[in-house]
Amino acid sequence: MPQHIQINVMNTREQIIQLGKCLAAEAQTGYGNAVKGGLDHFLTEWLASANGAAREPVVQAALARLQGYAALELDQRKARLDESLDQLRALFREGGQEPRQGKRAATKARGVAPAHAAPLTLDAPLATFPGIGPSLAKAFARLEIRTVADLLYHFPHRYDDFSSRMTIAELTVGATETVVGTIADVKSFSTRTMLGGVNLTLEDETGTLPITFFGQKWLVNQLKLGEQIVVSGKVTAFNGRLQMNSPKWEPYREDALIHAGRLVPVHPLTKGMYERNARTIIKKVVDAAVPLVREYLPDEVRERAKLVPLAKALAQVHFPDDHKQLALARYRLGFDEFLFIQLGVLQRKQLWQGVPGYQLTLDRQVQAEFLSKLPFQLTNAQTRSLEEIFADIQRPVPMARLVQGDVGSGKTVVAAAALLQAIANGFQGALMAPTEILAEQHYRGLKKILSQVRVPRDAKDVAQHSDDWQRRLAPEQLQRMQELKRLLGMTEEEDMAGAGVRVALLTGSLKTKERKRVLESIAQGEVDLVIGTHALIQEGVQYNSLGLVVIDEQHRFGVEQRERLKGKGHHPHLLVMTATPIPRSLALSIYGDLDASVMDERPPGRQPIKTKWIQKAEVAKAHKHIRKEIAAGRQAFVICPLVEESDKLELASAVQTQEELQHEVFPELRVGLVHGRMTQAEKDAVMAAFRDRAFDILVATAVVEVGIDVPNATTILILGAERFGLAQLHQFRGRVGRGEHQSYCIVVSDVDNDVTEQRLRALEESEDGFVLAEKDLELRGPGEFFGRRQSGTPDLKMAQLGDTRLLHAARLEAERILQRDKQLEHPDHALLKQKVDTFWANAGAAN
């Protein structure tokens, strides 16, 4: 039934209890605005006599949250009223007492038992902190903030600079300024909308400033004549007089400003959170928790790197005293993140190279024969990379090297030469590709080259495969030999002894019987080089003598898969190839455990790809160009725009584009479709059909970013180009320009903003992937560099990967620390080890 609570003259505590009783009663009646006259009316009457109670921040937040209650939807009423009740209960819990009726009503309405105060720890659930009720705790949880420590590391995403104070006489129209003054006049006003507000006059020694707070009529009970306050807001003019409307404000206390008169933090928030109230709560948590923070960096490290203490950094990053203190705090916290990354990757490198490896002998004769079989000469970059690889494999520790090559720079040839040296030393090689179709492409290409190169075999191997030995084979043994030749793609003229490298393909689509034979051949050492996908690291794959592992397109694989493949042999050498040029800062973070070789030259004879940015209105011209190219016997790709991160929307876009092109634009041509919702086998089948010219045009989503070699494709049309990063656009462009014919890249976008224009102009002007990668990092930041998140790569909250100076400082310090204490076992490093382990564990969980 409707509730009516008489308001009497009472003290502050009693007033808040009275408010809590009314809100609890409203909750009990189902949030139907059943209070007599409505909740808005009650709150107005309550404010008129509330005096000191209305100055309590929790009460202010509740009043702001419940403003216009009658006009809210039922679910909004429930959410706002429940949160207000939670915080009022928490306020009394902090003081050791709860309003009894409010406690009973709230418990009955929501089944929430009151919590009891406990000693604060950094691991304590946020809901146990005084002032944070269940609703606010749930809101924080939506931001993955569940403990006090989580909130300490929930950094502001920007700051409003209200720190520069002006006198009233110095104010200028249009500027956002901060003024400290005394309230000379204050009164409320009403409007026909019933929201009303408060007018006040602020004065200082230089003049007066009218200020209006719209829709906050209750402020009349908080803003007292003669009180000194600080306001921060935009200066406007009305009838020739300067004024402010609804500025941020708070009582002026020099050492306790939170919302105005300082660098004001703006934290990422979510539904159910209100900026002013959240900032007040965060300030309380930071003040209470910072003294509990333990410093994990030894004093000598902090002094050497010129870092402020961790506790000070955390306090200042949330509520900085000034710009200098903020910069020092950000430097310390960013340094720590880079240090954790570098300690992790350097430890991984030490772990890998801290054991004996295969010290290979360089066979110059085999290398010379290999080069003689190539239809081209190596570029200087290829030669330089090979010399770096050859130097590594001749050392008694396992190689761990990354080869970064731009699109079409000839990485596969470099990998083949390296694999050949391992095989010439009597070891097996393995090459893992991200998709079956790429594995098959590598298989065909490498078998064609390597089967022509004679590699030395030991006397036993040669004898076992001699003609005389084969004549003495039992029928079943001879049958197995013939099957093995077939598996290895050998002709009848080729024997097992010499000829060239014995290459096998191992993928998930092999039939059971065929897979079993390949596995037996690998285990018995009858295969020199095995090429495949993730199948290479599955259970049951045993190598006879794995000496070198090559991984193509590393960023498609996580760290765990890489470690599993390395574990298949006795510490084989590792060579990672990527066709995504990566800025040095990113390479140090993502591939920090690998030495790097850079291939920044394209083989001679490759024609530049003509790149053009057009508007949507010009797409018909692009269609005309495609028709002309196809008439000349060529093929074309059409790339559909990325639709945020939604596979379903992206699929709809691709299907719609394919249907439109097939039925309306190119009815006489064959238009295929490949998209991310297909299985890998389906994708591979479509791509292979396109390569074999079953389609004239292939409509695709981002799945072709790293794709097969289709030399006959000469045009790629990229729709919605603004949705892709510069590095990704460059990868798309690399799908063409692989044959003898002139190739074209056409990007379509109407989006008119500076970032898009810089990105697309850069693509038009440069084919240098390394130049474009640096530009992409500058424009988009590291988080979007690869599109989707890196597998096994830590997320950075403070550090900027473009800050190479800070990154190098952290790497240098990591090297110094590990030089003295490889396993971080020293007591001085115990807390640091714990932080590094947690940091990398969280990185794995996030991916």
Spatial CB neighbours of 210, under 8 Å, sequence gap ≥ 6: 199, 200, 201, 241, 243, 244
Question: How confident is the prediction for the chain on average, in pLDDT?
Answer: 81
Cβ count near 75 (within 10 Å): 9
How many whole angstroms separate alpha carbon 696 and alpha carbon 636?
Answer: 7
Cβ count near 422 (within 10 Å): 26
For residue 674, which phi and psi values (nearest 5 degrees)?
Answer: -140, 135
| 778 vs 16: which has the higher pLDDT | 16
| 16 vs 5: which has the higher pLDDT | 16
Lowest mean pLDDT among 287-291, 343-347, 416-420, 750-754: 750-754
Spatial CB neighbours of 766, under 8 Å, sequence gap ≥ 6: 772
How many whole angstroms separate alpha carbon 99 and alpha carbon 13?
Answer: 9
Q: Got the DSSP string for 619-661? A: HHHHHHHHHHHHHTT-EEEEEPPP-TT-HHHHHHHHHHHHHHI
| 196 vs 289: which has the higher pLDDT | 289
Burial tier of 245 (Cβ tally within 10 Å: 0-12, 13-18, 19+): middle
What are the beta bridge partners of residue 160?
264
**Percent of the chain clearing pLDDT 90 (strictly above):** 32
Judge contact between 729 and 651, C-beta under 8 A.
Answer: no
Judge contact between 409 and 600, C-beta under 8 A.
Answer: yes
Q: What is the pLDDT of residues 415-456, one digit of tens each?
A: 999 999 999 999 999 999 888 888 888 998 899 889 888 887
Judge contact between 457 and 468, C-beta under 8 A.
Answer: no
How many whole angstroms separate alpha carbon 563 and alpha carbon 330?
Answer: 34
Q: What is the pLDDT of residues 53-89, one digit of tens each?
A: 777 777 877 887 787 777 777 777 888 888 888 888 7
How many whole angstroms separate alpha carbon 258 and alpha carbon 265?
Answer: 9
Q: What is the pLDDT of residues 546-603, one digit of tens each?
A: 899 998 875 445 556 656 666 665 678 989 888 777 776 667 666 777 888 888 787 7
Q: What is the pLDDT of residues 132-156, one digit of tens each?
A: 888 888 889 998 899 999 999 999 9
Judge contact between 44 and 124, C-beta under 8 A.
Answer: no
pLDDT at 800 over 50: yes
Judge contact between 231 and 221, C-beta under 8 A.
Answer: no
Q: Max alpha carbon distance in the chain (Å)?
A: 115
Going by the DSSP 8-state scheme, the letter that residue 398 receives in this structure is -
- Scanning 404-539, the segments in alpha helix (DSSP H) are 411-424, 436-450, 459-464, 467-471, 475-487, 512-523
The confidence band for 490, taking pLDDT boundaries of 50, 70 and 90, is low
Instruction: Go through 195-213 and write b for each residue having 16 or more CB atoms within 10 A of its CB, e for each that does not.
Output: ebbbebbbebeeebbebbb
Judge contact between 215 and 67, C-beta under 8 A.
Answer: yes
Sheet with 635-639, side-by-side order of all strands: 610-614, 744-748, 713-718, 635-639, 697-700, 671-674
